[in-house]
Amino acid sequence: MKFTDLSLSAALIKELERQNYQQPTAVQQATIPPILEGKDVMAIARTGSGKTLAYALPLLQHLKIDPLSNREVQALIMVPTRELAVQVSEVIITFSKALKNPLITRAVYGGVSINPQMMQMNRVDILVATPGRLLELMDKNAVKIAKTKILVLDEADKMLSLGFKVEMDQILHRLPTKKQSLLFSATLSDSVEKIKADLLHDAVVVESTIAESDVSLIKQIGYRVTAEKKGVLLRHLIESNDMQQVLIFCSSTYQAEHVNDKLNSNGIKSKAIHGKKAQSTRQGHLNDFKDPDNEVRCLVTTDLLARGIDIEFLPYVINYELPRSPKDYIHRIGRTGRAENPGTAITLVTPEEAHHLRVIQKKNNIKIWMEDLPEWNS
């Protein structure tokens, strides 16, 4: 199937060609037509399968410029993290620029001053937002969602999880009942099933033929190692495999800082991103890490960056510690092996973590290949 088979406008097709997208991915093929028809859609498709464009393209085609909008958002896209808000808005803005009448897209998220964001809200067609900041802006009357036509929940299961429940309830409450709702996620949970009943009407459910936890493009290996030896093993793996770009996940802010310091003091250029860092620093480090010309080899982070972040051709993900939630294992390793590219995910496991690793494998129906510890000179 080609993009031209999907009833997309000539301007969008041209932009897809310009950006060298050859053909729609499975989830794009399945969701773009029903979204264009105005149907509610719930799509479950693996990480890196192109879900952003699956909703962004029909959205851009659907919406018409409304110069009188006066703080009324036409389409609202909810995402769990600030970095993802920036990423999604950037994708939409590039495509929007290709339209004859570009729609105005803004990203709003916490951790930065609210005033510049407020001043941008006079006219906004598409708003990408994290829940807390959206509520703040609504409380200040800077933005209104009572006439919103389309709601997208990216990383839907996360948006509907307990952690966001209070905020999301308020937001859902203030949206009109009559709207088109689109839910996208790589993992499905009971809360999504429930919301399907509560939030969606007559929804088209798309489950990509490839199972949600299909991560077959990703080579998954593990090493059994004591906590004390993890640091030196990590450095050995980076050096011996000549890893030039590796995303390293830790379970806490403290640990992420510690691992980052150790890497740098051993001459491996690294940056750390976690919830205690200033937002501008977080975004700066992420940009440096993504930039192929930059020397930053390692980005050490927490589950903050497990969801949705797209790093082109990222070859390696290392779990320095296991994620608490088995689902997050899938999201973490899904940062590599994107858009049909191969990748390697390495997990370091202490004897204490062995049981939890079994749970992760069982819940996700995957097998992590345990390797013998390499020998190194230390």
Contacts of 320 (CB under 8 A, 6+ apart): 230, 234, 248, 249, 250, 255, 259, 300, 348
Q: Does 21 bind ligand ADP (CB under 6 A)?
A: yes
- Residues in binding contact with ligand ADP, number by CB under 6 A: 17
Near ligand ADP by CB under 6 A, which window of 48-56, 78-86, 114-122, 316-324?
Answer: 48-56
Q: Of residues 29, 49, 89, 336, which one binds ligand ADP by CB under 6 A?
A: 49
Of 222 and 334, nearer to ligand ADP (C-beta) is 334
Closest CB to ligand ADP among 21 and 136?
Answer: 21
The option from Mg ion, ligand ADP, none interacting with 336 (CB < 5 to 8 A, set by class) reads none
25 interacts with ligand ADP by CB under 6 A: yes
> Residue 53, interface with ligand ADP (CB under 6 A)?
yes
Report the SS3 class of residue 130. Answer: coil
Residue 73 site contact among Mg ion, ligand ADP, none (CB < 5 to 8 Å, cut-off depends on kind): none
Q: Give the whole-angstrom CA distance, residue 87 versus residue 102.
A: 18
SS3 string, 75-100, reads: EEEECCCHHHHHHHHHHHHHHHHCCC
Q: What number of other Cβ atoms are within 10 A of residue 312's Cβ?
A: 10
Q: Does residue 52 belong to the site contacting ligand ADP (CB under 6 A)?
A: yes
Q: Closest separation between CB of residue 364 and ligand ADP, Å?
A: 16
Nearer to ligand ADP, 45 or 233 (CB): 45
- Write 6-9 long-range contacts (CB < 8 A, 24+): 6/32, 6/33, 6/36, 7/32, 7/33, 7/36, 8/32, 8/36, 8/57, 8/58, 8/61, 9/61, 9/99
Matching residue, tokens 């230390």: 378
| Minimum CB–partner distance for residue 310 and ligand ADP (Å) | 4
Residues that bind ligand ADP (CB under 6 A): 21, 24-25, 28, 45, 47-53, 308, 310, 312, 338-339
